[in-house]
Chain A
């Protein structure tokens, strides 16, 4: 069972409209590599030149913000759900 990546509407132009993409990987970094090679348009959107997750991109593995985990080296496993959400400021 692969890992499901949920794509926000603001990025679906780059994923040919796909709301959810299934991929296999061992770490979040690998997963994003796989996502970017499938959809070239995503390259540079999620990560900066040094591979860092961009300031206004939040990524969650299951329910957890990867910035509170290990960022790109956060392990991922089959059955996990990875959600990409643009950062939205609070109220």
Chain B
């Protein structure tokens, strides 16, 4: 059953048929997919969902696909993890992690948006797909594009993290590095979509692509027993994910699948690239572009075109926004790893660190349920931790050497520098500091 009505401009409400376009010809505003909610309310419900396969496509009525063929049937339905130890550290009663660091197939939430975009590209008869990306999207487009038989061309800023480059080229996708920042790459892709007619997932397929983000919200609601959380914290690059999670909860409420008060949305950015946080805090909701300067590359969008909507969604929900320094972000990565065994990338570190600040300042009430959305995997951004490389003993393969090492390091908690533990001076400790991205140990023997 198909409930898609068409496309509509978010600004002037001009209507368009379903087609590969993202921009209103009248006012340049972004186009959004519209659905027949009346029919959806009559004909669908949680009951029809539960028996389906565990992937984001269990909510297909609320996704903008019209054909029978779905590309990426295995994507999504990532764990919602109760985070007791992190809750204790942050001083809240009920905390959950939505863990898209283990999304299929490329370990970030971008697998969701790409699955929808490629399904539409196939419907539209496109044979070449591509994207402008800060890394995660590149990986997702490369893996899924190649797998589903598209010619795939991905554009990234030339100085991206090595893991994200390898995680794109390994699939055989064409990769083009661009001398410039993400905003410049995105601009070029906009011109490429114009000239070549390719399916650029975040440009001319954007209205469909963006809808894939809603599935994070659908899953959180279902995994919470068809309830929405009181508070939700999510990192923001363009701000689209947070906006779409809010939309997902609103749709479920509109359809009568969930009840209760609106979720307060909290947005997180790095201080070196915080135009949406600024727009929330100064009360204008207007985005003033910045030149991005942060190690959180996946959040480094200085001129977020959807930023205005994210600021508005945050404000209307009664939430707030916060930014964190690169050092706080690294602490956030470690904190999540040490408490919950989840290794997130820089963007997730931003989310955790911002949540910590928002809780400490009282913006997030301590006695309510809060969900942190973790969007990507730490193995892609190990460089970010190079400056605080772990210190650990390297020994000869003999039991006595091991006993000596354990005696020396036994009371040292992981991640705590040796100066605060009880380390004997005669034990040599190893540090990976000199060789980022290399194996962490290059030390000498005891």
- Rounded to whole angstroms, the CA-CA distance of A89 and B26 in the bound complex is 18
When chains A and B are docked, how far (Å) is the Cα of A88 from the Cα of B183?
10
For residue A65, which residues in chain B have a CB less than 8 angstroms away from its CB? 183, 289, 303
A90 CB to nearest chain B CB (Å): 4
Bound: A2/B28 CA distance, A: 27
Given contacts A56-B23, A67-B288, A67-B303, contact A86 B28 (CB under 8 A): yes
In the assembled complex, B99 has its CB within 8 A of some CB on chain A: no
* Cβ 8 A contact of A57, one of B28, B133, B240: B28
In the bound complex, how far is the Cα of B134 from the Cα of A58, in angstroms? 20
A86–B27 Cα distance when bound, in Å, is 10
A91 touches B201 (CB 8 A): yes
A89 touches B240 (CB 8 A): yes
Tell me whether B306 and A91 are in contact (CB under 8 A).
Answer: no
* In the bound complex, CA of A18 to CA of B27 (Å): 19
Number of A-B contacts (CB under 8 A): 90
In the complex, the answer to whether B133 meets A91 with C-beta atoms within 8 Å is: yes
Please give the number of chain A residues whose Cβ is less than 8 angstroms from any Cβ of chain B in the complex.
23
- Taking a contact as CB atoms closer than 8 A, the residue among B27, B113, B191, B206 that contacts A54 in the complex is B27
Bound Cα distance A17, B133 (Å): 30
Contacting pair B131 A8 (CB below 8 A): no
When A58-B303, A85-B187 are in contact, do A90 and B25 touch as well, CB less than 8 Å? no
Q: Which residue of B lies closest to A67 (CB)?
A: B289
Of residues 121 through 144 on chain B, the ones whose CB sits less than 8 Å from some CB of chain A are 131-134, 137
Q: Is A45 at the interface (CB under 8 A from chain B)? A: yes
Q: Establish whether residues B28 and A56, one from each chain, have CB atoms under 8 Å apart when the complex forms.
A: yes
Are B237 and A90 in touch, CB under 8 angstroms? yes
Contact with B along A64-91 (1 / 0, CB 8 A): 0101100000000000000101111111
- Residue A10 at the B interface, CB < 8 A? yes
Are the CB atoms of B190 and A88 closer together than 8 Å? yes
Q: Are A89 and B304 in contact (CB under 8 A)?
A: yes
- Contact with A55, one of B131, B191, B308 (Cβ below 8 angstroms): B308
A45 to B132, CA, bound (A): 26
List 4 A-B pairs, minimum CB-CB distance, nearest first: A91-B202, A90-B238, A87-B305, A56-B28
Q: A55-B308, A88-B203, A90-B202 are in contact. List 11 more A-B contacts (CB 8 A).
A: A13-B25, A45-B27, A56-B23, A56-B305, A65-B183, A65-B303, A83-B187, A90-B237, A90-B240, A91-B237, A91-B238
